[in-house]
Structure 1
Amino acid sequence: MILALLLFAQVTPSDAVAGYADCLSSRINADPAMIDPPAEVAARLAIYDAALKLCAPKRKSARPEDAAMFDKVDASTRKVLEDPVSAEQVDGDLADVPRP
């Protein structure tokens, strides 16, 4: 019984990564500039960098073996902010939408 409780109390990599991804997404979406996202890539990446700093404690408190998944979340988020249309077309979300 105690072993079962200890196993359930552990944070799985998906929980840690999901919490970090949620933090990152929430911080980016909460930025007032994202109401009407800036056209300049540098401005969007500045918002991303600010979110990274705010969510860093969640990443630092996770297990080292989760680092690859955190890197994938970071890369994916950055890719979307660098070129939103292209990123969504690659992922299939806007595959049928013509590119502007």
Structure 2
Amino acid sequence: MESIIYYVVQVNDCFYKEKIGIPTFTSDEEQAFAFTDISDAHQLAAQISGAVLAREVSYKELEELSVQQRFEYEAFPKNERDRIESFCRELKIEV
């Protein structure tokens, strides 16, 4: 397997992004929430009258994005990186 299959939910010309109280949407597919479980995607699509679209991303592309994001992260001031890392530690403990 050289790629990962994921799913997005489309409603009209928008894509499901997240739920904070009520579902929010984006016109940019790259900002859409990526489901890895097709049944979860279908469940949400049924709730919001959407359609499930299968997408694929290669491991190579993910690796390239990871390197780019690492450079962006390292460009943050130290106090910002410390805040992010502290927040992530708290998330990991609660999960």
TM-score, with structure 2 as normaliser: 0.26
Flag the structure with higher strand content: 2
TM-score, with structure 1 as normaliser: 0.25
Flag the structure with higher helix content: 1
